[in-house]
Amino acid sequence: MSKNNRFFISCLQKLSFISILFFPVSVLFSQQTIEAIHFATGKPVQVKIENGEIASVMEIQKLKNADKAFFIAPGFFDNQVNGFAGVSFAFGESDLTPEGIEKATRELWKFGVTTYLPTLTTNSREVLEKNFSLLAKAVNDPQLLGSIPGFHLEGPYINPADGFRGAHPKQFVRLPDWDEFQALNKAAGGKILQVTLAPEVEGAQEFIKKCRENSVIVAAGHHNANREQLDEAVQNGVRIATHLGNGCANLINRHNNPLWPQLSNDSLWISIICDGFHLLPEEIRVFYKTKGVAKTIITSDVTSYAALPPGVYKTQTGETIELTKEGKLHYPEQQVLYGSASPITKGVGNMMKVTGCSLADAIQMASTNPAKLYNLNDRGALEVGKRADLILFTLDDFVIDIQKTFVNGELVYQNNK
C-alpha cells in the first residue's frame, strides 16, 4: 500500500469516528423492539420500530418479561378536545400560549392520546382567529411529533335555541358564512379538518357542499334537524353526528326529534361521549347496536378541567362548577353537566363495560375509525408502515392504565409508579 493510500484511509477513519461522535443520538438509536400482548389477537407479539414507523409485527411464543405483560395497540385519536390539564383552546380569556399547547399535549400523552384535534367552540371571530393562529404553529412543532394534524370547529353555525345550543354562548351563534370560514381556516393554516353545524339553519346546505368540495369533514351537532333536512345534509356532505345524544334539548317530541333521523340514516357516522355521565348505558348500547363498530367513534369532548384535582372551580365567565372525585364536571346546585373532564381512556373502558364489545372493537372506535374518517392513513393501526404511535397498557375491570406511550417512534411517556 502506498504512503498516499495509507494517509487517505487514515483520514477516512478519523472522519468516520468524528461523524459517529457527533451524529444525532436519535438517528443512531432509531431502532427498537417491543414485546407485548396484541390488543386484537390476545397473543404475544414482537413489534419492531424503525425511523418512527412500525417495521414488523411478529407473533412470538412467549414474552421475555412475563411479569410485565402489557397490551399493545395503536394510540388513541381523540377528535374533540376543548382543552386539557388547565389549558383551554376555546376561550379568549385563557391566553392560549405555545407552552400551554405543549403542556396539554404532553398531558394527553399520559392517557394514551397520540393524535387529537384541538376543538374551538362558538365564539367571536376575533377569538377564533387568534386561537387558530396560535394552534396552527403547533401542527409542525417538532416537539409535538405530529400529534396535532388539524382542528375541529364546533359552531358557531349551530341552532341558537336553548337546549340545542348547549353551553355555547348565544351572543356568538350565527348563520353559516363561507367567507368567514375561509378566514378562520386561513388563520388555522388550512388545517380545520371538521366543522360541526346545524343542518336546518339558513344557508347550511350550501355551506356543507362547499366544505365537501374543499375536503372539510362536516358534522351535524347542536341541531334540531328533521329527517328531510338531515338526509339532505348527508347527501350534500355531512359525514358524522357530533356527540350524539348531547347538544340536544331535554324536552323533545317522542316521534319528531333529531335523534331518530341520525340513527336511521345508514350513511351517517356518530361520535359519542362514553364517560358515564353524558349518556346512559342503555343509550350507548342502542347507539352502538344501530351504527355498529365501523361507524362509531369514541370521543371525550374534554374541557380544560380534565386531569385537574377534584374541587370547586370558577369558569372564565365567573360561574361556579364542581369536579367530583368520580370525574363528573357539573354545576353543584342544579346538578347539570358543565362539560366533560374524563380522558378517552375512561370512555374506551366504559364502552366495553356497557356494550360487551371486545377490546379490539373499542380500539377500532377510538383509534382506527377517526384516522379513517380524516384520511390520516399513516396512523390508527398496528400495522407495518404505519406511524409508530403506540400505547402499552393494562386492562383491569374495564379500567385502562397507560404504561407507555410512543409517538412517531419516540417514548414520550412512561408510568414509573
CB 339 within 8 A of CB 167: yes
* Number of C-beta neighbours around residue 246 at 10 A: 18
Domain assignment present for residue 22? The answer is no
Q: Does residue 387 lie within any of the structural domains?
A: no
Question: Would 260 be classed as within a structural domain?
Answer: yes
Give the number of residues written for the chain: 417
C-beta atoms surrounding 175 within 10 Å: 15
56 inside domain: no
Q: How far apart are CA 404 and CA 114, in angstroms?
A: 11
Is there a contact between 272 and 287 (Cβ–Cβ < 8 Å)? yes
Query: In whole angstroms, what is the distance from residue 284 CA to residue 280 CA?
Result: 7
User: What is the predicted pLDDT for the residue at 318?
Assistant: 82
3-class SS of residue 20: helix
What is the pLDDT at residue 15?
Answer: 43
CA–CA separation, 282 and 239 (whole Å): 24
Half-sphere exposure of 123 (CA within 13 A, CB side): 20
Share of the chain above pLDDT 70, in %: 92
* CATH number, domain with residue 298: 3.20.20.140
Instruction: Give domain status of residue 331, yes or no.
Output: yes
What are the distances in angstroms from CA 215 to CA 97, 194, 203, 210? 29, 9, 19, 9
Task: Tell me the mean pLDDT per 10 residues along the chain, length 417.
Answer: 46 43 45 96 98 98 87 98 94 80 98 98 96 96 98 98 92 98 98 98 98 98 98 98 95 96 98 97 98 98 96 87 93 84 98 98 98 98 98 98 98 94
Which tens digit of pLDDT belongs to each residue from 64-81? 887 789 999 999 999 999
Q: What's residue 94's pLDDT?
A: 60
CA 154 remoteness from chain centre = 14
Does residue 37 belong to any structural domain of this protein? no
- Per the listing, cell 366495553 goes with 352
Domain containing residue 121: 75-379
Domain total of the chain: 1
In this structure, is residue 344 part of a structural domain?
yes
Q: Determine, yes or no, domain membership for 300.
A: yes
